[in-house]
Structure 1
Amino acid sequence: MELGNKERSLVSKVMDGLISGIVEERYGAILPPQDVLSKEFDVSRTVMREALSMLLARHMLDVRPKIGTRIRPMRDWRMIDEDVVNWRFRAKPDNTFLRDVIEFRGSIEPAACALAAERANAADIAGIRDAFEALRQIDVNDPGFQTADALLHTRILAASGNQFYQQMAAIMRGALSLVNPIINAREGGWENVLAAHERVVDAIERRAPKEAEAAARAMIEFTAEELSHAFAPNALPHHEQPLEQR
């Protein structure tokens, strides 16, 4: 039976609630039975079943006989799905995930910047420059900061002309939402990244693909170095340090 607008809205709310419970580790490894979840969210079994099926389709859950609905490791989640990207980046980052984020950016951004320098038309370049100037003028604590930074990166990916890179924009936005607060908390971190952004934009405007690629790679390498310092054991409060470091 096809769900109406009200039921679809409820499904979305239930999915959001389930995701919050998963990333906050409230459920453990196995979700409660559907009847229990339906009561918890005060929805019908039909709505709950639909919400769970949506998460199953995104490789986030796994139903096993005599075991129940198992929560799959986050590394198995279908990251190409924009909703999954947003949900995955809600979870507290770990060192492996941060590594994977940096490796992803290192694989995509430098090549995309080089292609943008080769392929972008005048309107693309004007849009990239406008996005950079808006980013330059906004404070890192402004609510619109993250959106401004994401817009610049999204426009560069679009200007690459590569449809696969263009579809990586959701993951890129998630990556930025994760690393920016960490970089901004480091002394001089954002100033260095902003200068690197400017070198990328200048190279794209000058149609210098090798320079654009090198500037993007240097920016990502700087980010990786700052993250390694931020997450070094001696950078953590004493109670959060690994036991062997105390």
Structure 2
Amino acid sequence: METANKDRSLVSKVMDGLVSGIVEEKYGAILPPQDVLSKEFNVSRTVMREALSMLLARHMLDVRPKIGTRIRPMRDWRMLDEDVVSWRFRAKPDSQFLRDVIEFRVLIEPRASALAAMRATPAEIAGIREAFDAFRSIAPTDPAYQDADELLHTRIVAASGNQFFQQMAAIVRGALSAVNPIIMRKESSWETVVRTHGRVVEAIERHDPKEAEAASLALIDFTSDEVEQAFPVSHAERV
């Protein structure tokens, strides 16, 4: 049992190292042969083979005869897998990726906020308020800011009561990690962000789904405007 746990831990470490190399474009389009990778990570070929199989199952790699193990485009990665979500958001963002992130949030978060206003239990509403109070007390420069923002959004999505939305919480958290560093470049953004989050929370507390949805959409619109200033999106990328 101890050996099995050790092997699983090794596989996880190798997977993490491989993903770091992929998102940092260390390997190019094709991974080195397994024996080369095994030596690089100082693990057996069995461990390396299992790590590669796990990435294959997540649609991150593709084995081609006479070519080798090809790294698939990030758009092909299985984004419903929470590990893949985390790995995907490690890569340096580009304008198209940020566009897709914002479009995803528009589809999920406003509706989740409206459902939370209709369905949240008193305990869930108290948890949302607690998360918001913690969030607004932390400066954007504080390392705890990101965690506080993610907790607030996660609790709102969870309070929607929709199991599919709840499964998307990892992507919401990843989206926040991608856009927050861009938004918080301006000192003036923090007040707007806190105020708009407050609108969402207060609407949920009042059980006002229309206002909760509108406030959530306003928050994402503000994010979109700030991101577009930093990463201009061409007309071709919009459609």
The aligned residue for residue 14 of structure 2 is 14
Structure 2: which 5+ runs fail to align? 234-239
Question: What is the CA–CA distance in structure 1 between the aligned matches of 2:56 and 2:191, rounded to whole Å?
Answer: 42
The CA deviation at 1:232 is 3.8
Check the 8 A contact 2:101/2:175 in 1, yes or no: yes
Question: What is the CA–CA distance in structure 1 between the aligned matches of 2:175 and 2:45, rounded to whole Å?
Answer: 35
The CA deviation at 1:90 is 0.2
Check the 8 A contact 2:131/2:151 in 1, yes or no: yes
Q: Which has the higher contact order (CA 8 A, sep 6+)?
A: 2
Identity of aligned residues (%): 75
Question: What is the CA–CA distance in structure 2 between the aligned matches of 1:186 and 1:77, rounded to whole Å?
Answer: 33
The CA deviation at 1:190 is 2.0
Question: What is the CA–CA distance in structure 1 between the aligned matches of 2:42 and 2:89, rounded to whole Å?
Answer: 27
Check the 8 A contact 2:196/2:215 in 1, yes or no: yes
The aligned residue for residue 140 of structure 2 is 140
Q: What's the secondary structure of 2:184's corresponding residue?
A: helix
Alignment of 1:201-220 (within 5 A): 201-220=201-220
Instruction: Look up the equivalent residue of 1:123 and give its one-letter code.
Output: A
Question: What is the CA–CA distance in structure 1 between the aligned matches of 2:190 and 2:81, rounded to whole Å?
Answer: 29
The aligned residue for residue 128 of structure 2 is 128
Deviations 1:113-150 (A, max 9, x none): 00000001111110000000000111212221111111
Instruction: Look up the equivalent residue of 1:17 and give its one-letter code.
Output: G
Q: What's the secondary structure of 1:69's corresponding residue?
A: strand
Structure 1: which 5+ runs fail to align? 234-246
Q: What's the secondary structure of 1:85's corresponding residue?
A: helix
Instruction: Look up the equivalent residue of 2:62 and give its one-letter code.
Output: D
Q: Does 1:64 align with 2:59?
A: no
Question: What is the CA–CA distance in structure 1 between the aligned matches of 2:232 and 2:167, rounded to whole Å?
Answer: 33
Q: Which runs of 4+ in 1 moved over 4 A?
A: none
The aligned residue for residue 158 of structure 2 is 158
The CA deviation at 1:181 is 0.8
**Alpha carbon RMSD of aligned pairs, Å?**
1.3
The aligned residue for residue 182 of structure 2 is 182
Instruction: Look up the equivalent residue of 2:158 and give its one-letter code.
Output: A
Deviations 1:149-181 (A, max 9, x none): 111001001110000001111001100011111
Q: Does 1:79 align with 2:79?
A: yes
The aligned residue for residue 102 of structure 2 is 102
TM-score by length of 1: 0.92
Q: What's the secondary structure of 1:4's corresponding residue?
A: helix
Question: What is the CA–CA distance in structure 1 between the aligned matches of 2:144 and 2:193, rounded to whole Å?
Answer: 17
Question: What is the CA–CA distance in structure 1 between the aligned matches of 2:32 and 2:191, rounded to whole Å?
Answer: 47
Check the 8 A contact 1:186/1:226 in 2, yes or no: no
The CA deviation at 1:186 is 2.1
TM-score by length of 2: 0.95
Check the 8 A contact 2:94/2:231 in 1, yes or no: no
Alignment length, in residue pairs? 232
Check the 8 A contact 2:95/2:232 in 1, yes or no: no
Check the 8 A contact 2:31/2:68 in 1, yes or no: yes
Check the 8 A contact 2:203/2:212 in 1, yes or no: yes
